[in-house]
Amino acid sequence: MTLDGAMQLTTLMMGMAFIQQSLEHLRPAARPAERLLFVPRLMLSALLVGAALGLPIPPLWLLAMLLVNHMVILHFFAGPYNGGYDRMSLLILLCLTAAHAMPQHRELAFGYLGAQLTLSYFISGWVKVVNPAWRNGQALRDVFRFSAYPAGENIRGWAQHPRLLLAMGWAVMVFELAFPLALATRPTLILALVIAATFHGANACLFGLNRFFWIWLCAYPSILWLQERVVFPLLP
């Protein structure tokens, strides 16, 4: 995958993810001030999708305006609206803006996104595996039993299956910790990304974290490019 192709694909996917979440903020139940912030975000994102599809619009200005809009939104909510989703959104936006603003350093800017994507899985696995409650399955049981995350009461019933949750918890930890190893070959990386996307899809279904699914997928082209650019030349 070329750098231009990977950046174009990430730009297209991010624009579409921003359109999806902007529309959620434009429902009539939202406050007028909130809707006012997401109308420009929707329009800029639609233009960005157009630019990624080949319309003659310079993406740098759209990205810069989206960045300003994102900062205003962060101030409006006094922080992220949906935690890690907002952080990944802003990270992708910052990396793409930097890559377009500093063409001589664009490999560094876009590669940083790929590196952070790898870390997002590895560190998530590390903080779990060092916690005894995750190792003995109690933490995942608590997530289903009383945390605010299960999206339906029937999903809480999973807490009654401790062995299943213990196996699921270890499967998640092993996968997250082993993710950097998947960079060794193209087939293993593609398989790892398919598993990771399935994991995000399961989180979206069970916990209602739909935005995480879409935004993490947006960063996948960066790691596919980074593997070719950095990892393959290092391998014998």
Partner 1 sequence: MIIRLIQPVFKSLALVLPALIPSWRFFDAVSASPRLDYVLLAKQTDDSADWRPFRPRPERLTFPAMLRRMLWNAERNESLFLVSCSERLVQNPTAHSQSEILRRIARHLAPQADATPFLQVRLRFVLPDEDGALNSHVAYLSPVLAVKDLL
Nearest to 172 by CA among 198, 205, 142: 198
Tell me if 235 contacts partner 1 by CB under 8 A: no
Q: 69 vs 210, which CB is nearer to partner 1? A: 210
CB 120 within 8 A of CB 35: no
Q: Among 81, 170, 185, 229, which residue interacts with partner 1 (rule: CB under 8 A)?
A: 81
Nearest to 219 by CA among 21, 10, 7: 10
How is residue 82 annotated by DSSP?
Answer: S
> Smallest distance, Å, CB 1 to partner 1?
24
> Smallest distance, Å, CB 113 to partner 1?
11
Cβ–Cβ contacts within 10 Å for residue 193, how many? 18
Q: Among 99, 189, 211, 215, which residue interacts with partner 1 (rule: CB under 8 A)?
A: 211
Write the CA distances from 98 to 111, 204, 218, integer angstroms: 11, 30, 17
Q: 212 vs 225, which CB is nearer to partner 1? A: 212
Task: Give the DSSP H or E segment for 97.
Answer: helix 84-101
Tell me if 20 contacts partner 1 by CB under 8 A: yes
Which stretch, 20-28, 52-60, 181-189, 225-233, contacts partner 1 (CB under 8 A)? Answer: 20-28
Which stretch, 85-93, 102-110, 191-199, 222-230, contacts partner 1 (CB under 8 A)? Answer: 85-93
Q: CA angle, corner 181, sides to 175 and 182, nearest 5?
A: 75
Q: 57 vs 123, which CB is nearer to partner 1? A: 123
Q: Among 65, 195, 197, 204, which residue interacts with partner 1 (rule: CB under 8 A)?
A: 204
| 234 burial level (CB within 10 Å; 0-12, 13-18, 19+) | exposed
- Name which of residues 106 to 125 contact partner 1 (CB under 8 A): 116, 119-120, 123-124
- Name which of residues 53 to 72 contact partner 1 (CB under 8 A): 71
| 162 burial level (CB within 10 Å; 0-12, 13-18, 19+) | middle
- Structure-token pair, residue 54: 């080949």
Q: Among 53, 61, 77, 136, which residue interacts with partner 1 (rule: CB under 8 A)?
A: 77
Residue 209's SS3 state is coil
Tell me if 27 contacts partner 1 by CB under 8 A: yes
- Structure-token pair, residue 28: 């009539």
Residue 77's SS3 state is coil
> Smallest distance, Å, CB 146 to partner 1?
5
Chain positions contacting partner 1, by CB under 8 A: 20-21, 23-25, 27, 29-31, 71, 74-75, 77-84, 86-91, 94, 116, 119-120, 123-124, 127-128, 131, 133, 139, 142-143, 145-148, 150-155, 201, 204-206, 208-211, 213
